[in-house]
Amino acid sequence: MKRPNPILYGTIGLLVKGFAFIKGQRITKNVSIKKPAILLSNHTSFYDFIYTIAAVYPHRITFLAADKMFYDPLLGFFLKLGRAIPKCLFQSDPIATMNAFRILRQNGIVSIFPEGQISAIGKTQLPEFAIAKFLKKAKVDVYIVKHQNAYFVNPPWTKKSFRGRFETIKELILTGSNLQSMSEQDIYAKVLEKLAYNAAEYNKVKQYQYKLNDISNLENVLYHCPNCGHDGLVAQQYLLHCPSCQKDYPYDRLGRVGGYGVDELYAAQEKIIQSQINDSSEFELSGNVILQCFREKRLVNVGRGVLTLNQNEYLYHGTVDSVETDLRFSPANVPYLPSDIGRNIQIYQGYQIYQFEFEDKKLPQMFVHAGEYLYALANSKKTI
């Protein structure tokens, strides 16, 4: 495993830095980076890796990236060009760890997004505890490269941009000598503290404004009408509309929806799903899906069927490679449910990805709410 090519990286990195500045990035807290080092970043935008490169340039960065991304023909090409390290999500990956340590031994810089997935609401998600174990073993300086309000410029629910200012801070949070004396629990607590971020709360203070654009697909993050309780809001250019009570929720230049933060509306609909689970042992979600898995270094369609989630299991009933099959997964073993918004959910098991593409575009978010809560319930019972 080698660090990125210095000539290629130097040329592309300079272009990336200019691009990020035009997009609105401003470095508001800076620190010199001492190599070897590990960078930890929050993840609220598809452009976060670009903004991280821009913030650290001219230092070369080796990214740890989800192995799923390497199977995309275009994205995979650029990841390989940049000598990124593929990492199995939400499973131990000794090969990825070994490659990361090789880069550090070459006096390099390894960049990690500890959440493992993009936040749909601009609020930091809980990273795996494994990050503390990794840092403890690495024993090199650790820096936070945190992007504040990149969520409003490039929300993960759209490919469109909402031009405006966002800020990146670089901060040394742990030294190699600190790591030797700290417990894994203390290391994890420090990572949580420094990684924590909420775009809506941050912008209540900053009041930065962003150019409006079409908000299509936000209705698949926020599907629930807080006025009448209807599930199925509809995006209409700059607003979400409820077809049941006819109420509109405009998306404004501060990134609010009907005057609410996206995180507020998201949390409210999440609580509704949780209450439904608490109130009924018969709770169930179900939808038509296309199943996608890895085949010959590509993520491809392998079957069609129905995916059902109840308090006991995820059950896929359908075809796999033209054979009628039932696939079962226990919610107690699925702590995270990554989702491409309005498209799918992903379950990682046995170093295989099971990606379920839904016909009903709001169901992925409902599955995320329910699945991750069922995991929490199942594992809280284990500790009692």
**Separation between Cα atoms, residue 78 and residue 171, nearest integer Å:** 28
- Report the pLDDT value the prediction gives residue 383, as an integer from 0 to 100: 44
| Residues facing 191 on adjacent strands | none
**N-terminal to C-terminal alpha carbon distance within the chain:** 45
Q: What are phi and psi of 116, to 5 degrees?
A: 80, -5
pTM for the model stands at 0.92
pLDDT tens across 39-96, in order?
Answer: 999 999 999 999 999 999 999 999 998 887 877 777 777 788 888 998 887 777 889 9
- Model confidence at 295, pLDDT cuts 50, 70, 90, reads confident
- Report the pLDDT value the prediction gives residue 382, as an integer from 0 to 100: 55
Q: What are phi and psi of 256, to 5 degrees?
A: -100, 160
- Asked if 215 contacts 234 with a C-beta cutoff of 8 angstroms, the reply is no
**Separation between Cα atoms, residue 292 and residue 301, nearest integer Å:** 4
Q: Which domains does the chain have, with CATH numbers?
A: 6-206 (no CATH), 218-279 (no CATH), 284-382 (2.30.29.30)
Q: What are phi and psi of 323, to 5 degrees?
A: -110, 130
Query: Smallest Cα–Cα separation from 162: which of 262, 310, 54?
Result: 262
**Separation between Cα atoms, residue 153 and residue 255, nearest integer Å:** 9
**Structural tokens at position 373:** 């809560």
pLDDT tens across 311-341, in order?
Answer: 999 999 999 999 999 999 999 999 999 999 9
Contacts of 35 (CB under 8 A, 6+ apart): 59, 107, 108, 109
**Separation between Cα atoms, residue 212 and residue 214, nearest integer Å:** 7
Contacts of 205 (CB under 8 A, 6+ apart): none
The sign of the torsion formed by the CA atoms of 315, 317, 320, 323 equals positive
- Model confidence at 229, pLDDT cuts 50, 70, 90, reads very high
Q: pLDDT above 90 covers what percent of the chain?
A: 85
Residue 384 has pLDDT above 50, yes or no: no
Q: What rounded mean pLDDT belongs to the chain?
A: 94
Query: Smallest Cα–Cα separation from 265: which of 215, 211, 309, 219?
Result: 219
- 36: cis peptide before it, omega within 30°? yes
Place of tokens 């929490």: 376
Pairwise pLDDT comparison (295 vs 205), residue with the higher score: 205
**What mean pLDDT is predicted for residues 2-20?**
91
Alpha helices in the chain (DSSP H): 6-23, 48-56, 67-70, 73-81, 94-105, 130-138, 150-153, 176-181, 184-195, 199-206, 262-279, 363-382
CA angle 232, 331, 112 (to 5 degrees): 85
Instruction: Specify the range with the lowest mean pLDDT, choosing from 130-139, 173-182, 295-304.
Output: 295-304
